[in-house]
Chain A
Amino acid sequence: MRLPCPHCGERGNEEFVFLGSADPVRPADSEAPIEDWIDYVFLRDNPAGANRELWHHTYGCRSWIVVRRDTRTHEILGAEPARSLPPPASTSAAK
Chain B
Amino acid sequence: MTPQTQHTSQPFRLASGGLIDRATAMPFTFDGREYYGHPGDTLASALLANGIHLTGRSFKYHRPRGILYAGPEEPNALVELRTGARREPNTRATVAELYPGLTACSQNRWPSLAFDVMAVNGLAAPIFPAGFYYKTFMWPAAFWEKVYEPLIRRAAGLGRAAREPDPDSYERSHLFCDVLVIGSGAAGLAAARAAARSGARVVLCEQDFRLGGHLLSSRDEIDGKPALGWVAEVEGELAAQSKVRVLRRTTVFGLFDHGVCGAVERVSDHLDEAPPFTVRQRYWKIVARHIVVATGAIERPIVFPQNDRPGIMMASAVRSYVERFAIVPGRRAVVFMVDDSGWSTVEALQRAGASVAAVVDPREEAPERARSIGDAKVLCGATVTGTRGRLRLSGVTIKDRQGREQYIEADLLAMAGGWDPALHLTSHLGSKPKWDESIAAFVPGSLPSHIDVAGAAAGRFGLDAALKDGVRAGSEAAHHAGFASVSLAPPAASALPMHTRCAPSWRAAKLDAKSFVDFQNDVTAADIALAAREGYRSVEHAKRYTTLGMATDQGKSSGVNGLAILADVTGRTIAETGTTTFRPPYTAVAFGAIAGRETGKALRPTRLTPTHQWAAERNAVFVEVGQWLRAQWYPGPGEADWRESVNREVRAVRSTVGVCDVSTLGKIEVMGPDAGRLLDFVYANTVSTLKVGRMRYGLMLREDGHVMDDGTVARIGEDRYFLTTSTAHAEQVLRHLEFCHQVLMPSLDVAIVPVTERWAQLAVAGPRSRELLAKVVDGFDLSTAQFPHLSVAEITICNGIPARIYRVSFSGELGYEVGVPADYGDAFIRLLVREGEPLGLEPYGTEAMTVLRVEKGFPATGELNGQTTARDLGLERLLSTKKDYIGRALQRLPAFNEPDRPVLVSFAPVNASDILRAGSHILDLGAAARIENDLGYMTSAVYSPTFGHHIGLGFLKRGRDRIGERVRAYDPVRNCDVVVEVGPPCRYDSDGGLARA
Q: A92-B745, A94-B745 are in contact. List 8 more A-B contacts (CB 8 A).
A: A1-B257, A2-B287, A34-B889, A41-B704, A62-B738, A73-B448, A81-B742, A85-B746
Give CA–CA (A24, B789) in the complex, Å. 43
B369 surroundings in chain A (CB, below 8 A): none
- Asked whether A32 is an interface residue with its Cβ less than 8 Å from the other chain, the reply is yes
- Asked whether B681 is an interface residue with its Cβ less than 8 Å from the other chain, the reply is yes
| Given contacts A83-B746, A95-B677, A29 and B703 within 8 Å (CB-CB) | no
A12 pairs with B747, CB closer than 8 A: no
B743 pairs with A82, CB closer than 8 A: yes
Give CA–CA (A2, B738) in the complex, Å. 22
Interface string of B557-591 (1 = CB under 8 A from A): 00000000000000000000000000000000000
B893 surroundings in chain A (CB, below 8 A): 34
Chain B residues within CB distance 8 Å of chain A: 256-260, 285, 287, 429, 448, 677, 681, 703-704, 731, 735, 738-739, 741-747, 883-885, 888-890, 892-893
Give CA–CA (A83, B742) in the complex, Å. 5
A12 surroundings in chain B (CB, below 8 A): 260, 285, 287
- Asked whether A88 is an interface residue with its Cβ less than 8 Å from the other chain, the reply is yes
B738 pairs with A95, CB closer than 8 A: no
Give CA–CA (A30, B704) in the complex, Å. 12
Give CA–CA (A58, B735) in the complex, Å. 8
A-B contact pairs, 7 of them (CB 8 A): A12-B260, A17-B735, A30-B884, A41-B703, A74-B257, A87-B743, A92-B747
CB nearest neighbor in A for B754: A62
- List the 4 shortest-distance A-B pairs measured between CB atoms, nearest first: A2-B258, A30-B889, A83-B746, A30-B888
A82 surroundings in chain B (CB, below 8 A): 742-743, 746
Assign chain A's interface to a size class.
35 or more
CB nearest neighbor in B for A32: B889
B744 pairs with A91, CB closer than 8 A: yes
A74 surroundings in chain B (CB, below 8 A): 257-258, 429
- Asked whether A90 is an interface residue with its Cβ less than 8 Å from the other chain, the reply is yes
B743 pairs with A54, CB closer than 8 A: yes
A56 pairs with B738, CB closer than 8 A: yes
Which residues of chain A (63-95) have a CB below 8 Å from chain B? 63-64, 73-76, 81-85, 87-88, 90-92, 94-95
Interface string of A29-51 (1 = CB under 8 A from B): 11110100110111000000000
| Residue of A12, A17, A73, A94 most packed against chain B (CB within 10 A) | A94
CB nearest neighbor in B for A22: B743
B883 surroundings in chain A (CB, below 8 A): 94-95
B741 surroundings in chain A (CB, below 8 A): 83
Give CA–CA (A51, B884) in the complex, Å. 29
B704 pairs with A42, CB closer than 8 A: yes
Chain A residues within CB distance 8 Å of chain B: 1-2, 12, 17, 19, 26-27, 29-32, 34, 37-38, 40-42, 54, 56, 58, 62-64, 73-76, 81-85, 87-88, 90-92, 94-95
CB nearest neighbor in A for B705: A41
Partner of A1, one of B260, B681, B884: B260
| Given contacts A2-B260, A30-B884, A94 and B742 within 8 Å (CB-CB) | no
A88 pairs with B704, CB closer than 8 A: no
B744 surroundings in chain A (CB, below 8 A): 26, 87-88, 91
Shortest distance in angstroms between A41's beta carbon and chain B's nearest beta carbon?
Answer: 5
B260 pairs with A64, CB closer than 8 A: no
A85 surroundings in chain B (CB, below 8 A): 746
Shortest distance in angstroms between B176's beta carbon and chain A's nearest beta carbon?
Answer: 10
Give CA–CA (A64, B741) in the complex, Å. 10
CB nearest neighbor in B for A84: B746
Shortest distance in angstroms between B699's beta carbon and chain A's nearest beta carbon?
Answer: 16
Give CA–CA (A42, B702) in the complex, Å. 12
Give CA–CA (A27, B258) in the complex, Å. 36
Give CA–CA (A64, B259) in the complex, Å. 24
B738 surroundings in chain A (CB, below 8 A): 56, 62-64
| Residue of A34, A41, A63 most packed against chain B (CB within 10 A) | A41
| Given contacts A30-B884, A32-B889, A87-B747, A63 and B742 within 8 Å (CB-CB) | yes
CB nearest neighbor in B for A3: B258
Shortest distance in angstroms between A6's beta carbon and chain B's nearest beta carbon?
Answer: 12
A63 surroundings in chain B (CB, below 8 A): 738, 742
A73 surroundings in chain B (CB, below 8 A): 448
A75 surroundings in chain B (CB, below 8 A): 448
B747 surroundings in chain A (CB, below 8 A): 87, 92
Shortest distance in angstroms between A54's beta carbon and chain B's nearest beta carbon?
Answer: 7
Shortest distance in angstroms between B314's beta carbon and chain A's nearest beta carbon?
Answer: 37
Give CA–CA (A11, B287) in the complex, Å. 10
A81 surroundings in chain B (CB, below 8 A): 742
B258 surroundings in chain A (CB, below 8 A): 1-2, 74, 76
B735 pairs with A94, CB closer than 8 A: no
B742 pairs with A37, CB closer than 8 A: no
Give CA–CA (A82, B745) in the complex, Å. 10
